[in-house]
Chains A and B, each alone.
Chain A
Amino acid sequence: MAKPKHDGLYVSISQVKCYLRCPRQFELKYIRGTPPAFVPVPLAFGSAFHAALAAFYGEVKASGAPLKRDLVLDVFRAEWSRALEGPVRLQVDEEDNTSTDTMVDKGVSMLHTFAEHAEAHLDGVVVESVEKSFSVAIHDPDTGEVMEEQLVGTMDLVVLDHDRRTVVEHKSSSKKYSADQLKFDIQPTGYKLAARQAGMGEVGLRFQICTKVKVPQMQVVDITRDAQDEDDFLRTAGGVLKAIDAGVSYPIRGWACRGCQFAHACRGASS
Chain B
Amino acid sequence: MTNEEKKKIYQQLAAPFPEEAIERTDGRQTGRGYNTTGLKAQYVVDRLNAVLGIGGWRVHREVTVKESSTSSGRRSYEAVCDLILELGSFENGKFEVFAEALSYGGHVAMLDADARKGSASNALKRAAAMLGCGAAAYRGELDDDNIPAEHSSDGFTVSTLPTQRPAPAVVPQQPVHQAPQQPRPPPAPSRNRLTNKQLACIQAIGRKLGMDQAGLRAATKQRFNSQPEFLSRDQASQLISSMSAQANGNGHDAGEMPEPGVEG
Binding site for B on A (CB under 8 A): 1, 3-4, 7-9, 30-33, 137, 139-140, 143-146, 148, 196-197, 241-242, 244-246, 270-271
Closest to A8 in B: B196
A144-B109, A144-B158, A271-B225 are known contacts. Are A9 and B150 too (CB-CB below 8 A)? no
A139-B109, A148-B193 are known contacts. Are A32 and B148 too (CB-CB below 8 A)? no
Q: How far is the CA of A244 from the CA of B231 in the complex (A)?
A: 11
Q: Chain A residues with Cβ under 8 A from B213's Cβ?
A: 3
Q: How far is the CA of A17 from the CA of B113 in the complex (A)?
A: 27
Distance between B37 CB and nearest chain A CB, rounded to angstroms: 14
Task: Say yes or no: B193 contacts A33, CB within 8 Å.
Answer: no
Distance between B79 CB and nearest chain A CB, rounded to angstroms: 12
Closest to A246 in B: B189
Q: Chain B residues with Cβ under 8 A from A137's Cβ?
A: 74-75, 110
Q: How far is the CA of A3 from the CA of B227 in the complex (A)?
A: 10
Chain B, 102-117, contact with A by CB distance < 8 Å: what is the 0/1 string? 0000010111001000
Closest to A138 in B: B110
* B258 proximal to A (CB < 8 A): no
Interface residues on B, range: 35 or more
Q: Chain B residues with Cβ under 8 A from A4's Cβ?
A: 229
Q: How far is the CA of A270 from the CA of B225 in the complex (A)?
A: 9
Chain B, 43-62, contact with A by CB distance < 8 Å: what is the 0/1 string? 00000000000000000000
Closest to B229 in A: A9
Task: Say yes or no: B191 contacts A245, CB within 8 Å.
Answer: yes
Task: Say yes or no: A244 contacts B230, CB within 8 Å.
Answer: yes
Task: Say yes or no: B189 contacts A8, CB within 8 Å.
Answer: no
Q: How far is the CA of A4 from the CA of B200 in the complex (A)?
A: 14
- A-B pairs, 7 with minimum CB distance: A143-B148, A245-B192, A146-B150, A31-B230, A8-B196, A33-B227, A145-B148
* B38 proximal to A (CB < 8 A): no
Closest to B227 in A: A33
Task: Say yes or no: B217 contacts A242, CB within 8 Å.
Answer: no
Task: Say yes or no: B193 contacts A241, CB within 8 Å.
Answer: yes
Task: Say yes or no: A143 contacts B196, CB within 8 Å.
Answer: no
Chain B, 146-168, contact with A by CB distance < 8 Å: what is the 0/1 string? 01111101101010000000000
A4-B229, A30-B227 are known contacts. Are A246 and B150 too (CB-CB below 8 A)? no
Task: Give chain B interface residues in 4-35, CB to chain A under 8 Å.
Answer: 25, 29-30
Distance between A267 CB and nearest chain B CB, rounded to angstroms: 17
Q: Chain B residues with Cβ under 8 A from A3's Cβ?
A: 213
Q: How far is the CA of A8 from the CA of B149 in the complex (A)?
A: 20
Task: Say yes or no: A9 contacts B147, CB within 8 Å.
Answer: no
Could you list 8 further interchain pairs (A-B, Cβ under 8 angstroms) beyond the known A30-B230, A148-B154, A197-B111? Answer: A1-B227, A31-B227, A143-B25, A144-B147, A146-B150, A148-B153, A196-B111, A246-B192
* B118 proximal to A (CB < 8 A): yes
* B199 proximal to A (CB < 8 A): yes
Q: Chain A residues with Cβ under 8 A from B75's Cβ?
A: 137
